Structure 1
Amino acid sequence: MSRRLSTRLSSRVSAALAPLAAAALAATVLGVTAEPAQARPDRAAAGGAGAAPRLGECGAGELCLWERGGFRGARHVYELSRIDIESCEPLPAGVTAASLANRTGRPVTVYQSRECAETAEFRTHPTGSWTPETAYHGRAFKVWEN
Structure 2
Amino acid sequence: MGTTLPMTAAAALAAVLLTPVHAGAAAPPTSGDCAAGELCLWEQPEFKGHRQAYELSGIDIESCVALPEGSSAQALVNRTGRPVTAYQSAECAETGEFQTYPGSGTWAPQSPYRVRAFKVWER
With the length of structure 1 as denominator, give the TM-score of the two structures.
Answer: 0.66
Report how many aligned residue pairs link the two structures: 113
Q: Which has the higher strand share?
A: 2
CA distance in 1, matches of 2:85, 2:68: 17
Unaligned runs of 5+ in 1: 33-51
Q: What is the alpha-carbon root mean square deviation over aligned residues?
A: 2.8
The residue type paired with residue 144 of structure 1 is W
52-61 or 78-87: which moved more?
A: 52-61
Q: Within 2, Cα distance between the matches of 1:22 and 1:126?
A: 29
Going by fraction, where is helix more abundant, 1 or 2? Answer: 1
Match of 1:135 in 2: 112
Cα displacement (A) at 1:70: 0.8
Q: Which runs of 5+ in 2 are unaligned?
A: none
Q: Relative to 1, partners in 2 of residues 1:90 and 1:53: Cα closer, same or farther, differing over 3 Å? A: same
1:53–1:70 contact (8 Å) kept in structure 2: no
**Ranges of 4+ aligned residues in structure 1 off by more than 6 Å:** none
CA–CA distance in structure 1, aligned partners of residues 88 and 63 of structure 2: 15
SS of the residue 1:81 aligns to: helix
Counterpart of 1:47? none
Aligned to 2:54: 78
Instruction: Report the counterpart of residue 63 of structure 1 in structure 2.
Output: 39
When Rg is computed on C-alpha atoms for both structures, the one with the higher figure is 1
Change in Cα spacing, 1:21 to 1:101, as seen in structure 2 (3 Å) is: same
Partner of 1:20: 16
Amino acid in structure 1 at the alignment position of 2:44? R
